[in-house]
A and B are shown apart, each in its own frame.
Chain A
Amino acid sequence: MQLSDQERDELRDSARKFLDNEVSSERVRALLDDADGLDRTAWSAIVELGWAAILVPEEHGGMGATWAEMSIILHEVGRRVAPLPLLSSAVLGVEALVGCTSDALRAEWLPAIASGERILTVAAQGPTGSVVPSELGAVLSGATGSLRLNGSARFVPDAHIADAIVVAARDANNAVTYVIVERGAPGVTVQVEPTVDQTRRLANVTFADVTIADAALLVEPGNGAALHTRVAAAGAVAVCIDAVGAAEQMLFMASRYAVERQQFGRPIGSFQAVKHHCANMLIAVEASRASVAFAINALDDPSADVAEGAAVAKSFAGPACAEACQLAVQVHGGIGFTWEHDSHLYLKRAKLDEGLFGSTSWHRRRLGQVVLSR
């Protein structure tokens, strides 16, 4: 089901209203030091609104909508630097299941994710944060029937509150398999590694000879390359959308401040150095939105190359949005450097978005190789 343009505008408006009211800056700040870092009240309401069900097919109790709709929500969530398990459960978890070959897992998990009854996450990055198969830290060994999972995955969003974790594992030949493990299963250890961005929680997940039953396979062993590409691309695009939302809000705050704040007897926004900082933020935000739109279209188009789309977004929007947030701190002067002011929350969020699912330089290099191979 795809929404009309008007319905999308309505979705955006209602999401914005909801988040402005329910996930205020005070709420976000109250959770910065919370162990779970999850706004459970807001999350229950959000699940009621159906945001966890957007990408879930209708036959599994979802909305069966597209990335065009999902991106609206992710953008608004970024705008409020909201601590919500959308990336983990509603994006990565759903994409992994929708693209897997196990009807049983889909039937078991998708309705539970859509209803918010359970939270799923995906461990798609290795110890250096890389999504390249050879760099994955989770290793699957043994034959079907007696599969074992060892090693670790890192930077896993929301693993500490997830009911289960889908793991991107490699074998000795670097062929990828996706398997699902319960968070409390014997041999699975989840350790949150606090990031400077306190609006999210990433965990190091280790596996000590974890038994993998056949029923826990999302794909035939060694056949997960395409699924991994899709999930990694979805994650990359999702964090870029988040960053555009964050940068847009910073642009709004900085340009408003530039009108209000007076020095030398006039508003600082009349000084060209400041004005051009703001103009550069706007250019960055609009061009980032454009590059991300290209990636979103690719995710919704079965014939498109999602990895290329993700690389375009990560190559441009990742650094551009972080830079826009950096400029916003500068425009705010001393107040922008205080804990009290929200600027730092946005800058840190955008920096983490920039780093997740592949570095800027890696994505650019990969995109360069795509262009060269044409």
Chain B
Amino acid sequence: MIEELQALEPFREEVRQWCATHIPKNWRTEQLGADHHQFATFHRWWGSQLREGGYFAPHWPTEWGGGGFSLLQQVVLGEEFARADAPRNGLYQVALFNAGPSILHAGTEEQKAKFLPGILNGTVWCQGFSEPNAGSDLAGLQTRAIRDGDHSVVTGQKVWTSLAMEAEYCILLVRTDPDAPKRKGITYLLMDMKSPGIEVRTIRQATGQSEFCETFLDEVRVPVENRLGAENDGWNVTQSTLASERGASLIELAERLRRNGTLGLAEATKGWKNNDGVAQADDPAVQEILGARYAESMALRQLLNTMVTNVIRRGGVGPEASVVKVFYSELLQRVMRDAVDIGGLQTQLDQPPLMSAGWESGAWLYDYINAFGWTIGGGTSEIMRNIIGERVLGLPRDPEPKGA
């Protein structure tokens, strides 16, 4: 892979140039304490910048207006954006990495023509999968859809729907056959968030901010032409796309963690003193922790390289994506935990949140709390370990309750 990466040096230079001229120098000050509106406005602007640069949907095929970048180009892009400390393109994650790829994969030509250009133009999407009683056991979801002519009528409740208050569309999982085994009775819908019957209430998170929501659905009518895949085949549609698009976006996240997390922490220790009045950077115990976390950051980077190489050679991400997900999220949590310990009480002082910084804002205790977004969201660490045990190591499944 090293040789192939070397061939991309001119491309890397191009991206670096673009970053140097397009990333606003002051975004960290502008986004400090930004309210929701300022955050969304900034992101719509940043999205348009990325679009003009050709970096908005680098992973999409060119025939649908994407960058058509190879996986390695995406790797380079992620590395350079992390290096340049670009703001995170947070508002469009579901659109670009979940909705879009699912539509590309399972959508009809009409659906592609209807939705993909909008996504490229900045339509915000949210993901309505989880429910109060269906989290880890997602397939147990109960939101019902009943067919009425050429519409599905949807009633139920979704929860933890990130950015639902901003979203114009929602990828929605609903139960269409309550009598079938639970994975066989689910349908995948593309729901217009302006439809009557939708009520979105923001939920205040542990960090104090409100990025995710409860989404109540009361007889919401979704036209049948907005069903993705076949009726009752929604589970398969999600499975084929859930992990596959993560690889390249994780590379950027891992690089941000290495730079702003691990190396950022090292830099910060130079200004912090331990309880004996010695600079933390000079304390051998601190040096040892920094070395341990740095070694893990390098292991993560190499794990991702291996994953990318496997995708290129064999096509497709296997269950090793679960290894990467657990390793990344738990390392993120460890780095932030250590920062709070080493930085002392000053890291626990309240401060305005820095929006758009991803998981490394430098407000260490808030970052530590935010890291649960990764150890819980997108499949908890425990569920990832089940997947590794069962699908990689071939251990017997957990016995499920009868009738499940």
Contact = CB atoms under 8 A, between A and B. Distances in A.
A363 B396 contact: no
28 contacts: A255-B395, A267-B395, A270-B399, A275-B385, A276-B385, A279-B386, A286-B303, A290-B302, A290-B306, A312-B295, A312-B298, A315-B292, A316-B299, A364-B289, A364-B290, A364-B292, A366-B287, A367-B291, A368-B286, A368-B294, A370-B291, A371-B262, A371-B263, A371-B291, A371-B294, A372-B269, A372-B287, A372-B290
Nearest to B302: A290
A283 B287 CA distance: 25
Nearest to A267: B396
B389 A279 contact: yes
A270 B288 contact: no
Q: Which 6 A-B pairs have the closest CB atoms?
A: A367-B291, A368-B287, A364-B291, A315-B295, A368-B290, A290-B302
Given A274-B395, A276-B385, A366-B287, 12 more contacts: A255-B395, A269-B393, A283-B327, A287-B327, A290-B301, A290-B305, A297-B2, A315-B294, A364-B290, A364-B291, A368-B290, A369-B287
Contacts of A276: 382, 385-386, 389
A192 interface: no
Interface residues of A, number: 43
Interface of A: 251, 255, 258-259, 266-267, 269-270, 272, 274-276, 278-280, 282-283, 286-288, 290-291, 293-294, 297, 311-313, 315-317, 361, 363-372, 374
B392 interface: yes
A259 B326 contact: no
Nearest to A309: B298
Contacts of B281: 372
Contact of B396 (A270, A279, A280): A270
B219 to A, nearest CB: 40
Given A276-B382, A290-B300, A372-B281, A282 B294 contact: no
B320 interface: yes
B315 interface: no
B288 A365 contact: yes
**Chain B interface size range:** 35 or more
A371 B287 CA distance: 9
A270 B390 CA distance: 9
Interface in B291-333: 291-292, 294-296, 298-303, 305-306, 320, 323, 326-327
B222 interface: no
Contacts of B288: 361, 364-365, 368
User: Which of B302, B388, B389 has the most chain A CB atoms closer than 10 A to its own CB?
Assistant: B389
B270 interface: yes
Nearest to A287: B299
B392 A282 contact: yes
A22 B396 CA distance: 33
Q: Which of A278, A287, A366 has the most CB of B within 10 A?
A: A287
B31 to A, nearest CB: 26
A267 B393 CA distance: 14
B394 A367 contact: no
Contacts of A367: 290-292, 294-295
Given A287-B299, A374-B263, A282 B323 contact: yes
A82 B2 CA distance: 33
B402 interface: no
Nearest to B320: A286
Contact of B303 (A269, A287, A297, A366): A287
Contacts of B384: 279
B389 A294 contact: no
B276 interface: no
